[in-house]
Amino acid sequence: MTIAEIADMIKTKLYPQFDANEIRAITLQLLCHFWKIPDIDFYINKQKNLDEKIDEDFSKALKLLQQHTPIQYVLGFTEFYGLKFSVDKNVLIPRPETEELVNLIITENKDAKTIIDIGTGSGCIAVVLAKNIENAKIYALDISEKAIAKARQNAENNNVCIEFFCKDILSENNFIQTKFDCIVSNPPYVRECEKSEIKQNVLDFEPHSALFVPDDDALKFYKVIADFAISHLADNGKIYVEINENLAMETQNLFVQKGFKFIELHKDLNSKNRMLKIKRQ
């Protein structure tokens, strides 16, 4: 079968569930993954013949896609800030807006020596920081043992050394005595009342514990992050957090009430209020 014929076959299975652009992107990923073709063949060598034998895993992948499983979970990996990350249903799929958060941290903290990532999930933030901030010692924690196992695997695959803790930041904030130059977090921040705005494939497949917070205590993670920072942030240290765009004012106020005097709000690529940088002064 040629690349073009395989692409047509994929289209018959996935249209109209996915639109033409989505199918193109999915097809490219499936061809690269299962037939190991270089990207360029997909664009300019569509008549190239590929192995007839269709992998059992490939048919399984198409089935999972038809059942709305995100492609990242189907293939078992994704890319984040130019690195490859193994992902499964125990960890959130890294988002583009988190790449922006990480980019801001890297740009502003080339000399950081100690950094902690609270609620690390797949480890994407911690691993990218370890790769890009040369002399920093990176720590990361998560409440989920399965997430920590995934994050460890991702640190190993990307050849970085990170110290991991399986801890619940809501109940323990004194498990380490280090002072940090940066405290970083993308905690759960979607309110239950906002569930209706979340896409079905996110709701059905991604871990709710990494996404949702109760309507009446939506900032609970920011409260404990602020408390952790009060005792663990170095004098000139900075906090970087991803936030719910609908709670930007409330989240800023929380840090002000906790005694932090410098707060900077950043928008994401979609112009949504998405990140806070916080310092003591």
Listed ranges 2-10, 40-48, 105-113, 184-192: which one lies at the site for ligand GLN (CB under 6 A): 184-192
CA distances 121 to 163, 185, 257, Å, are 14, 10, 28
**Quick one: 83 or 211, whose CB is closer to ligand GLN?**
211
Q: Output the DSSP codes for 200-219.
A: HHHHHHS-GGGTEE-GGGTT
Report 204-223 residues binding ligand GLN (CB under 6 A).
Answer: 211
Output 28 or 202, the one with its CB closest to ligand GLN: 202
As to burial, measured by CB atoms within 10 angstroms (0-12 exposed, 13-18 middle, 19+ buried), residue 267 is: middle
Using CB under 6 A as the binding rule, whether residue 248 contacts ligand GLN is answered as no
186 touches ligand GLN by CB under 6 A: yes
C-alpha of 46 from chain center: 33
Residue 168 DSSP SS3: coil
Residue 31 lies near ligand GLN (rule: CB under 6 A) = no
Q: Which element (helix H / strand E) includes 91?
A: none
Q: Give alpha helix (H) positions in 144-219.
A: 145-157, 200-205
- Span of 20-28, 137-145, 188-196, 245-253 interacting with ligand GLN by CB under 6 A: 188-196
Pick out residues in 88-117 that bind ligand GLN (CB under 6 A): 95
Question: Counting every residue, how long is the chain?
Answer: 281
- Shortest Cβ distance from residue 211 to ligand GLN (Å)? 5
State yes or no: residue 147 binds ligand GLN (CB under 6 A).
no
> DSSP label at 49?
B
What radius of gyration, in Å, describes the C-alpha atoms of the chain?
21
Q: Is 202 in the site for ligand GLN (CB under 6 A)?
A: yes
How many residues interact with ligand GLN (rule CB under 6 A)?
Answer: 9
Pairing of strands 137-142, 212-213: unpaired
Q: Where does this chain touch ligand GLN (CB under 6 A) — which range of 24-32, 127-135, 147-155, 180-188?
A: 180-188
* Residue in 3, 65, 125, 190 binding ligand GLN, rule: CB under 6 A: 190
Distance CA(128)–CA(106), nearest Å, equals 9
Residue 120 contacts ligand GLN per CB under 6 A: no
Residue 189 interacts with ligand GLN (CB under 6 A): yes or no: yes
Interface with ligand GLN by CB under 6 A: which residues?
95, 186-190, 202, 211, 242
